[in-house]
Amino acid sequence: MAEEITFEEFMKVDLRVAKVLEAEKVSGSENLIKMIIDVGGGEKRQIVAGIAKWYKPEDLIGKLIIVVKNLKPKKIRGILSEGMLLAADTPEKPVLLTVMEEVSPGTRVR
């Protein structure tokens, strides 16, 4: 079980709806997909996710996903990832978290 956090600690995590604008497999990797996402206000970011075994890049384009916007950037296989997408960890595959209705990229998730 994960350690409990306070409400104030949780509020430090900036969860946003993002729209996938571009997606491609990372050359030399079977697991990684690089995506360009719209996080609202005209801001685009690049994220890298280990989901290529389960998702095709072309199927991600246009999807609304949930991301951690304020995660410290990290290089993955030499590629800068400026956030993290959220997924439910099921036994079969990671299931990307999304929204039930159309909302604008950048909408805050609470």
Residue whose entry in the numeric block shows the structure tokens 């950037």: 73
Among candidate residues 57, 47, 43, the one with its CA nearest the CA of residue 80: 47
Q: Which amino acid is at 106?
A: G
How many whole angstroms separate alpha carbon 66 and alpha carbon 74?
18
pLDDT at 2 over 90: no
What does the pLDDT average to over 83-91? 97
- Both tokens of 24, joined, read 């491609």
Tell me what pLDDT residue 95 has.
98
Q: In the 8-state DSSP scheme, what is residue 7?
A: H
pLDDT tens, residue by residue, 20-63: 999 999 999 999 999 999 999 999 999 999 999 999 999 999 99
Contacts of 3 (CB under 8 A, 6+ apart): none
**In which residue are the tokens 């709806």 written?**
17
User: Which residues partner with 22 through β-bridges?
Assistant: 36
